[in-house]
Amino acid sequence: MRDHIDDPATDAFVTHRNLLFTVVYEILGSATDAEDVLQETWLRWAEVDLAQVNDQRAYLVRVATRRALDRLRALRRRKETYVGSWLPEPLLTSPDVAENVELAESLSMAVMLVLETLSPTERAVFVLREVFDLGYDEIAEAVGKTPATVRQIAHRSRKHVDARRPREVVSPSQVRAALASFQHAVETGDLQGVLDVLAPDVVLISDGGGVRSAALRPVEGITKVIQLLLVSLGDKEGTLTSEPTTVNGDPALLLLVDGEIDSVMAIRLEDGLVIGIYVVRNPAKLTHLADATPLTLN
């Protein structure tokens, strides 16, 4: 980004950067690709005649969304050859994100995985409408559709997501209590506490990206999940420790081997029991866990 003092283009971009990153990340599920899209957006924005722009925020969101859609279609092709299960790239988030219930829910691993089942256009429309509350006319300009078509897509995608999103709102304290059982297991090797909080039909998804060992497919059922956890906790070469953290607006557990980040674990609860476990081990997806990423709906 050019370093000019009192540059209106730079000032406008910086003002809206956190919003643009949040929009693009929700569309892509990848912070690394979101950063690339923002760079592309800046290059386009830097050449714009600001005198011709009535609403800078809307213009930037439109440009970023179009770039994100192009990137998402490329990501879909890359995922076809991805080794094993694919999970969103986790972000270390600040407490204020967790306090924003709407934003935290849309960022959760469970909901981000539901968004993966939408087409690129459906996902962009859903994010812009349901998460950021943009008008149909504004969304239509961003995705290259008519407002009437966008309205239909929004209805269809909302119905799709509502049928698959978590059924109940779970408090962060409930999630932290369940994660404490996993932390105890990491520190002691005793999985009894974990067994007590797992639902019979629990599903564990791990993402190693072909670089770190991970189950190639989702592991379903309490017996198989416990077996996998036993193997995972026992095959680390080094001292395994864990730290509570906040990832994508939800409590999570950071797993370290000899003090280095090995993976991050997030969970989903239903009826007081863990129904989903999400473990990201791919090193390329663990680069945004050192500092909190600023996210916003405004």
The amino acid sitting at 64 is A
Confidence tier at 232 by pLDDT (50, 70, 90)? confident
pLDDT of 231: 86
- Closest of 286, 291, 296, 249 to residue 30, by C-alpha: 286
DSSP category for residue 284? G
Q: Considering only 74-78, 116-120, 135-139, which range has the smallest mean pLDDT?
A: 74-78
Are 218 and 205 within 8 A, CB to CB?
yes
Computed on alpha carbons and rounded to an integer, the radius of gyration of the chain in Å comes to 20
pLDDT at 170 over 90: no
* Mean model confidence pLDDT for the chain: 93
Place of tokens 């370093």: 3
Task: Extract the tokens encoding 142.
Answer: 């961003």
Are 75 and 30 within 8 A, CB to CB?
yes
Percent share of the chain, pLDDT over 70: 98
Q: From residue 13, give the alpha-carbon distance in Å to each of 8, 9, 135, 280.
A: 9, 6, 21, 32
Q: Which residues contact 51 (CB under 8 A, 6 or more apart)?
A: none
d(CA 117, CA 73) in angstroms, rounded, equals: 13
100: number of Cβ within 10 Å: 16
Q: What is the mean pLDDT of residues 49-58?
A: 93
d(CA 125, CA 108) in angstroms, rounded, equals: 18
Each residue's pLDDT tens digit, 100-133: 988 999 999 999 999 999 999 999 999 999 999 9
Q: Would you give the end-to-end CA distance of the chain in angstroms?
A: 22
27: number of Cβ within 10 Å: 28
Residues pairing with 51 in the sheet: none
Each residue's pLDDT tens digit, 12-36: 999 999 999 999 999 999 999 999 9
Residue 179, CA atoms < 13 Å, CB-side half-sphere: 25
Task: Extract the tokens encoding 199.
Answer: 């639902």
| DSSP helix/strand/coil, 109 | helix
- Closest of 243, 37, 220, 17 to residue 124, by C-alpha: 37
Q: What is the mean pLDDT of residues 160-165?
A: 94
Q: What is the mean pLDDT of residues 124-146?
A: 97
Strand order in the sheet with 260-270: 219-220, 198-207, 273-280, 260-270, 250-257, 240-247
pLDDT of 6: 67
pLDDT at 243 over 70: yes
pLDDT at 69 over 70: yes
pLDDT at 3 over 60: no
pLDDT of 174: 93
201: number of Cβ within 10 Å: 12
**Residue 182 falls in which region: left (phi positive, over 0), alpha (psi -120 to 50) or beta:** alpha
Strands, E assignment, 196-288: 198-207, 219-220, 240-247, 250-257, 260-270, 273-280
